[in-house]
Structure 1
Amino acid sequence: MAIDGRAGAAPREAGFDDLVTQAAAAPVQGWDFSWLEGRASEQRPSWGYARLLGQRMAQADTALDVQTGGGEVLASVPRLARRTAAVESWPPNIARAAALLRPRGVAVVAADGDRGLPFADATFDLVVSRHPVATCWPDIARVLRPGGSYLSQQVGPASVAELTEFFLGPQPARVRHRRDPAAARAAARASGLDVVDLRAETLHTEFRDVGAVIYFLRMVIWIVPGFTVDRYRERLVDLHRQIRDIGPFTARATRFLIEARRTR
């Protein structure tokens, strides 16, 4: 997830019902957070995943984007690998990714990339993934050619935990410590990959109206599992008043970059 929020102004003067209606009607296909412009913002990691992706793609012969979403990130790359494929499992995203990527020669495959990849061994010299739900490290290693690399920006532990706990209360340590970069490194190594880069950052995030929170929770469904406006209406009203009276709701997002290589 990358909230930008550079344009426009947050509609803090709008009433609760209007903000709910706007957020409930906003489309959530793909992985495009442009609806949040002016309403929410998230600091970007310093390493610049899109730039790194473009560099690696320009050097690759065959590449795979795992859990491509609506294909928006892959489509932003100026020069794709000679042969590029993308996998996605959610039907609305598959259609969106196909419309965006197939004109550029990308094969879009319906598959659940966090459980396995429907490709032969040693098919790709580059595999990439931005914010995967889960990483199937054994299959990543299997489909990479010797010398090939996996590059991924992932959500780290306790990301936006302040928002989760506003609705669900304090979370146990085992929940807060999920998606630990050290665990990703261990899993990569256990699958026979050498980790050549691992970086983590904590990033400032803010939501400027309750509609932005509703939209975000509709898109990023694991932050508050089972979220609906009706179920959490009382807390949403409280949040609306807090933002109106005090200012934006702030949270800390965590991200890590991992690059691993198959050496044999």
Structure 2
Amino acid sequence: MEILDIMAFGQPLGEVSISQYVIPSLAAFIAAVIGGMSGYGTGLLLPPVLIPILGAEAVVPVVSLSALITNATRVVTFWNSFDFNKIKKVTIYASPACVVGAYGYTLLSGPIVSIIIGLTLILIAPARRYLLRKHGNLGTRSLNAASVGYGILAGGTSGSGVVLISILLSTGLSGVSVIATDAGISFLLGVLKVIVFQSAGSLPFHLWAMAAVIGISAIPGTLLAKCLINMLSGQMHITIINAVVLLGGGALIIEGVRGVI
């Protein structure tokens, strides 16, 4: 079938040709390489690519579903580097908030979703810098509170992985252990999000197909990232991500405001 009528929340989001799956596939591969080396980047880079194709309302459900494949690959790849104690602590406090955030997302209109995602992408950079200043000094209560805040972001937005990475760094984790622990937490929360979105009717078959294409395309990127993990400097990665995120976030806000007006 050459043309697929992509649907989300029961509303048509336009026609997507088979050829248009190529762009998300390439974006997923590149994002997976970046994300596999740093633990974040995938959810930040995909929204600006997916929104013109699927519409704003479908982005978080599709990215959440595709991330299950990506994070499962990371879980297997970095299995020996997990901090299971951190996974347990963060997941316990983040899970209820994640469900609330995901359900709230399903109640929003497309333009509002676009504005919220755009604002989140732009505000993530200063939030990350604040958390990094707490490196190794985030106490138990602060970790619990940060986990709740992250849960809400994870449920209702895309690209919040950078916040989780910053939280884990702030607890004293470093290196591959951060990437592995992030993958474990993200996978568990991702399952909850997909359950909520599926229950709300936000993931019809057509979006499962797109998520599968994105997730499968990301697998070789994750494996490549393991080989390249020490080649990209931290500062260079941050500069690239921040530039893309600011541009993408600004574009999404402008598009959302136009839709509201």
Tell me which interval the TM-score lies in, with the shorter structure as reference length.
under 0.3
Richer in helix (by share): 2
Of Structure 1 and Structure 2, which has the larger fraction of its residues in strand? Answer: 1
Point out the structure with max Rg over C-alpha: 1
TM, length-normalised to structure 2: 0.27
Q: Answer 1 or 2: higher relative contact order, Cα 8 Å, separation at least 6.
A: 2
